[in-house]
Amino acid sequence: MTTLYVSHPAALDHAMPEGHPERADRIRAVERALEDERFAGLVRGLAPKAGPEVPTLVHPVPYVQALIEAAPSEGYVQIDGDTLMSPGTLEAAFRGVGGAVHAVDAVMAGECANAFVAMRPPGHHAERMTAMGFCVFNNAAIAARHAREAHGATRVAIVDWDVHHGNGTQDIFWDDKSVMYASTHEMPLFPGTGAASERGNHDTIVNVPLRAGDDGATFREVFEAGILRRLDAFAPDLVIISAGFDAHHLDPLGHVALTEADFGWATRRLMELAHRHAGGRVVSVLEGGYSLKGLGLSVSAHVDALMGR
């Protein structure tokens, strides 16, 4: 089973102030984890830089243009309460988009079985017209829309297990019956959205909230009953994972007690679903995960599962 791993050194150049949790060391932790000899079989590729038209698959042109114009030549520009741009942010963001689109192209063309894209800034909090929660462009949403526009995908599932709800992805696909957005996340927690009653205009939004202290047994139970059953009925022809690992018990920004084994289990269950409905096609994009140890362990378990182990 061939797994494509996509990243780029530009992810390190999205600089944040000292103490900011969404830091370049996150990518270094991922790289260290995947240096282990058991990952020697990964196909490794560099994320191409997307053109400015690509984010407009989900973000209006004025939003993209405003970010381009806001990019600083030095220092930082604050575009949200906790979201900043540095001189390296714009290229990192466009390569994050490019990496997600490249992974979709490779998986849809059958060049690899599945893919994991490790870039930053993350994306799932970015709404159509709003950057927030460390996120600039919504990489998973762009990947889903690209699969539809470029490859004729008719039903795309985005599964988000980040400890924070992906309000941006929900916002983008609220009225799009071709995309099912399914999320487990801690409530109450930033950004405050994600109640089970939030279902979208076509009943294709699936929110299964967790509570502080919930462990792997609870996560697996609700994932099975609340998400996998809905996805089976939806029968997607591509599965995209918003792979945030901040529900790990070591993470400083969440209060859910998952282990890396839980992420491996969830990956395998989604792969089984993808084999039933989508020819095995899975694209995973990195979201959160702020304990460097927890992130490394979780990515290892996730990629192990993608590689069929």
Q: Which of 14, 102, 125, 165 is catalytic?
A: 125
Calculate the CA 46 to chain-centre distance.
Answer: 18
- Cβ(20)–Cβ(98) below 8 Å: no
CA distances from 70 to 59, 212, 306 (A): 16, 37, 38
Any residues with CB less than 8 A from the CB of 255 and at least 6 apart, and which?
A: 163, 186, 189, 212, 213
Residue 139: is it exposed, middle or buried by C-beta count within 10 angstroms (0-12/13-18/19+)? buried
121: cis peptide before it, omega within 30°? yes
How far, in Å, CA of 167 to CA of 80, rounded?
Answer: 15
Active site (annotated) includes residue 125: yes
DSSP letters for 246-266: TTBTT-SS---BB-HHHHHHH
- Cβ(27)–Cβ(11) below 8 Å: yes
DSSP letters for 144-172: HHHHHHHH--S-EEEEE--SS--HHHHHH
Q: Encoding tokens for residue 73?
A: 């030549």
For the annotated catalytic residues, the residue numbers are 125
